[in-house]
Structure 1
Amino acid sequence: MLTVCWAAKGGSGTTVVSCALALLGAATRGPTWLIDLAGDAPAALGMAEPAKSGVHDWVLSAAPVQTIESIGIAAAEGLLLIARGGSSAPPERARWADLGQVLAASPVNVVVDAGSGVPPPGLVDAAQHRLLVTRPCYLALRRAAASAVTPTGVVVVHEPGRALRAQDVAYAVQAPVVAEISLDPAVARAVDAGLLASRLPRTLSVALSELAV
C-alpha cells in the first residue's frame, strides 16, 4: 500500500506525521518503507545524513525499478528509509509514475514524505492514500484548495489561537479529516533529541493509530 503525505505550506508537520505513520506501520503491519522526498526524515529519526544515493538520484538514473530497495537503510525495526539523495528530480519526470505503480502494487507498506508543495503527479496519482497534512491556517487551506492534487484524507495539526475547526478544513479542501493532532511540546522534544524512532510520543501514536492499521 502506498501513502503519500504532503503539505500545501511549509511548517505543517509533514515529516513528523510521515515518520510517525511509517514507525506505526512497521510496528503493526510489518515491513515498511519511508521514502523521503524532502530531506528531513533522517534528522527527525535521529539518524546521520545518509551517504548513499537517494530516491531523487534513482529517478534520474536508468536503474531497474526493482533496485529501489537497494538504496534503503535501516531506520528502525521493520523500517527501511530511502533518503532524498543529492539530486533533485523534476516532478514531471516519467520515472516517478513507474515508481508509483511499483510501490502501489508492492506488499510492503510504503509511506512517502513529499514535503510541501505539489508532489510528483505520477507518484501521487498511484497512491491508495493521499494525505494532506495541514494546520487550520487560512493561507495554507487557500493554497491546498487551489492545488491540482485532491487528497483522500486530511491530517489536521491543531495549534492554539486558530479560529478554523476541523470541519472548516474538510469543507475547504473537499476531503474528510482522518486524523487530528494537538500541538504537543513532547513531539518537538522527541524530534530535537533524535528520539522519534525509539520513543514515539503518545500524542502521535494515538492520533495516527487508525491510519497505520
Structure 2
Amino acid sequence: MIGISTYMESGARWGVWELEAALLPAGYPRLVQAAGGLAAMLPPDDPAYAAEAVARLDGLVIAGGPDVEPVRYGAAPDPRTGPPARERDAWELALIDAALAARVPLLGICRGMQLLNVARGGTLVQHLDGHAEVVGLFGRHTVKPVPGTLYGGLVPEETSVPTYHHQAVDRLGTGLTATAYAADGTVEAVELPSAGWVLGVQWHPEMGEDPRVMRGLVRAAATRA
C-alpha cells in the first residue's frame, strides 16, 4: 500500500457539481500501479494523525504542488513565491517526520523533495529560471546521477526528465545528500541514507515514461511489508 499526499482545492467541477475536493493528478496513482503498488490518497488532515496514517502504509509519496511557505525555513517570501498552502504544509511535514521515524520508504516528488529538505532543516531557492519555461506545460532537461547512490543505482545513466518548478533546494538539510544534478548545477535528487529508503526527486516521474524510481519505492515497500 503506497500512500500519496493530495491537493485540497475549492471549485473542482464534475457533472453538475462544483465543490471543494481532494485532488491528485492521475499520473501519480497510475505510476504506483504500473510499478506494482496499490495507491491510496492521503488528503490533508490534522498533523496529529500522521503517525497513525503512516503506520498503515508500506510506502509514502509526497506529491508535487504549490510552493512551500518560506516561514517554514526561516525566510521572508519572495514576490514571485506563490500563495501558501498551510494546511498541506503542516500535514505533509508531519507525514515526512512520521515516515522517517518509522523507516517507511519515502519518495518526495518536486514539492515533496523540497519539503523533505525543509523537514531536515534545509532551505530553498525561492525562484530560478529555466525549469518551468511555459506556464502550464511540462518541459524537459537532463539529469546526471551521482554514482554509488540510491538514485544512481536505480538510474545509472544521464536521462531526460519532465520538469516544472521555479524553486529548488538551496542549503541541504541535516543528513541529506545531493545525488543528481541538472546541467546548471540545480540539485535534482536528494537522499537520506541514515533513514533507509528515502529519495527526493525535483522532476515529475509521473509525467514521463520511466518507472524505475517508483519501482524502487515499491520494491522497498514490499521488502519492508
Q: What is the TM-score with the length of structure 2 in the denominator? A: 0.35
Instruction: For CA contacts below 8 A with separation 6 or more, give which structure has more relative contact order.
Output: 1
